[in-house]
Structure 1
Amino acid sequence: MGNVPRAMLWMLASGLLFTCLNALLRALAQQLDPFVAQFLRYGAGLLVMLPFILRAGLAAYRPKGLGGQLWRGAVHTAGLMLWFVAVPHVPLAEMTALGFTTPLFIMFGAILFLRERMVLARWIAALAGFGGVLVVVSPGLTGAGNPYALVMLASSPLFAASFLITKALTRRDSPAVIVAWQAITITLFTLPLAVWAWTWPTPLQWGLFLLAGALGSAGHFCLTRGYSLADISATQPVKFLELIWASLMGFAVWGDLPGPATLLGGLIIFAATTWIARREARARKESAA
């Protein structure tokens, strides 16, 4: 299997983990102050990683250049602040549609800043996947002018910038180091706002934050591993599969039956990601022949 298909599998795994994480964080952000929830999510992620860090030794997690890790943490923190403020107030359909603008920002940024080739097939797959998302969420879009939707939309280019920095960091640091320093920097950057708005979580909420920390750290490790294997633009069409995972979770947990729009949009997304994965694998075989 070539690097691109393997990278897509890592991205697929990250999407499954992030779907579970987002459902959990949406519930927690409705119960606690968003800044407290943001701090505890990454504090728990650092706590979950601490045994691995201590086992390998601190030297194994020393980055090759602290500046890039700090910039990545600062940019991701800014995106998270907007996301956590908006998430309790934005309906799930709108949140899904707005979140899927991030892969398009990433693909533009990869061409402009990382000098990746503009591969037409990847753009066709990404736009087809985004079209499938719009098919799914269009029945639930009210157009009521929710200002929090604009706040969430503003987080997308910040997350895209963070992931582009991540791709650049994979050229010198391992995925484990990048994920560990993400947890460290975001925990430190969010601490002042969390102290200002602090309320004590219940024992159940503490347990859920530990679960969120484990899901988030594992998801970011898979995502970073995928970025280290292939062009970041090649992995983005797989991102749209998260909508299918979210629909399946909604059915399994809450009994939400997918409607015709969900089934049609899911079929479009699945077709787009399958086509680009097969095309990338075939192209790699031809180049190796």
Structure 2
Amino acid sequence: MTPPDQAAAASRAVAAPLPAAAAAGSRAVPRAMLWMLASGLLFTGLNALLRSLAQQLDPFVVQFLRYAAGALVFLPFILRAGPAAYRPKGLAGQLWRGAVHTAGLLLWFVAVPHVAMAEMTALGFTTPLFIMLGATLFLGERMVPARWAAALVGFLGVLVVVSPGLTGTGGSYGVVMLASSPLFAASFLITKALTRRDSPQVIVVWQALTITLFSAPLALYAWTWPTPLQWALLLLTGVLGSAGHFCLTRAFALADLSATQPVKFLELLWSAAMGFAVWGDVPGKTTLLGGAIIFAATSWIARRETRRR
């Protein structure tokens, strides 16, 4: 082979992986959106269980046992792989994430037994907006106008659905729940930073361990023993919560936080579907209209992100 031929072959060898890498990059955001979608389905079931349990037991006890159950779910995997496989590369970040998320949960669990579902849904959907703002300010993500447009249109769809029943009956508890949103957003921003050095399963395990630790004092102060059925439901919350946070962390590891947040608004559709399937709640016209707005915004940003990349 002549030197020019060798140079051409070398050039082809270097260039060959690029299309594959570009293709992988173009699939990253849609894959992240699918992980986000899965987490929304899991969290919908989780929140329904937690709200019910928080009306039967002390909210701090429910918070403590939910994350203790989450840690218990991972115990077989930890024993199989060995504790070294779940050792974080930086313990301080895991502790900070656990502390911030625990603070948000304390506010959320205080408010959730007293706030109507419609009001809780509306207040909870402020978190993606805080996340997108924080990702721009602290993580250096580009402020892509299309992502903000999709998020704001999705939030508009949420307001269309909940506005007929948004009477503010939660009173001061509504303010308490709203205060949890920026704390959850800060927790997710820390999670995004942690995905640069730790795997999703390590992050989720340490989330469960740290929140269990930080929640223990208040839970022990207000302790009441759950019934056998409540123990079973609490174990189920551990399964749903750990699986949901794993999916969420996978989404954060694959793409910018701001790219995944519009998918969050689809949780309203899952909640409406669960209400119909379990309690026979028939969606009204505003639910259908708001759902159509949410679906259109999410579909549009997903297609745009794929084409852009």
Q: One fold, TM greater than 0.5?
A: yes
Aligned position for 1:287: none
Partner residue, 2:191: 166
Q: Does the residue aligned with 2:282 lie in a helix, a strand or coil?
A: coil
Match of 2:249? Answer: 224
Which residue pairs with 2:166 in the alignment?
141
For residues 187 and 171 of structure 2, what CA distance do their matches in structure 1 show? 26
Q: Deviations over 1:134-184 (max 9, x none)?
A: 000000011457110000000000000000000000000000000000000
* Partner residue, 1:275: 300
Q: Which amino acid aligns with 1:125?
A: A
Residue 182 of structure 1 is matched in structure 2 by: 207
User: Distance between the aligned counterparts of 1:54 and 1:257, measured in 2?
Assistant: 46
CA distance in 2, matches of 1:94, 1:40: 26
Q: For 2:65, which of 17, 20, 40 is the aligned residue?
A: 40
Amino acid paired to 1:30: Q
Partner SS state of residue 171, structure 1: coil
**Which residue among 65, 71, 80 is the counterpart of 2:105?**
80
The answer to whether residue 239 in structure 2 is matched with residue 211 in structure 1 is no
Determine whether 1:264 maps to 2:289.
yes
Once superposed, which parts of structure 1, at least 4 consecutive aligned residues long, lie more than 2 Å away? none
Question: Residue 196 of structure 1: which of 204, 218, 221 is its match?
Answer: 221
Cα separation, 1, equivalents of 2:191 and 2:217: 25
Deviates more, 1:136-145 or 1:157-166: 136-145
User: Which has more radius of gyration?
Assistant: 2
Corresponding position of 2:79: 54
Query: Deviation string for 1:35-74 (max 9, x for gaps)?
Result: 0000000000000111111111000000001000000000
Tell me which residue corresponds to 2:152. 127
- Once superposed, what is the RMSD of the aligned Cα atoms? 0.7
Change (3 A) 1:108 1:236: same
Question: Paired residue for 1:251?
Answer: 276
Give the aligned partner of residue 48 of structure 2.
23
Per-residue deviation, 1:281:
0.5
TM value normalised by structure 2? 0.91
Cα distance in 1 for residues equivalent to 2:170 and 2:82: 51
1:69 to 73, 80, 94: 94
The amino acid across from 2:239 in the alignment is: A
User: 1:97 is matched with which residue: 115, 122, 129?
Assistant: 122
User: Runs of 5+ in structure 1 lacking a partner?
Assistant: 285-289
Q: Describe the SS at the equivalent of 2:107.
A: helix
Distance (whole Å) between structure 1 residues aligned to residue 278 and residue 126 of structure 2: 26
Which residue matches 2:33? 8
Name the aligned partner's letter for residue 111 of structure 1: T
User: In 1, are the aligned partners of 2:153 and 2:293 still within 8 Å (CA)?
Assistant: yes
User: C-alpha distance in 2, partners of 1:110/1:142?
Assistant: 32
Separation in 1, partners of 2:215, 2:32: 31
Q: Is the 8 A contact 2:37 2:266 kept in 1?
A: yes
Cα distance in 1 for residues equivalent to 2:169 and 2:83: 51
TM (normalized to structure 1)?
0.97
2:161 is matched by which residue type in structure 1? V
Paired with 2:186 and 2:31, the residues of 1 have a C-alpha distance of 23
Determine if contact 2:155/2:265 at 8 Å carries over to the other structure. yes
Aligned residues: 284
Partners of 2:168 and 2:101 in 1: CA distance: 28
5+ residue gaps, structure 2 = 1-25
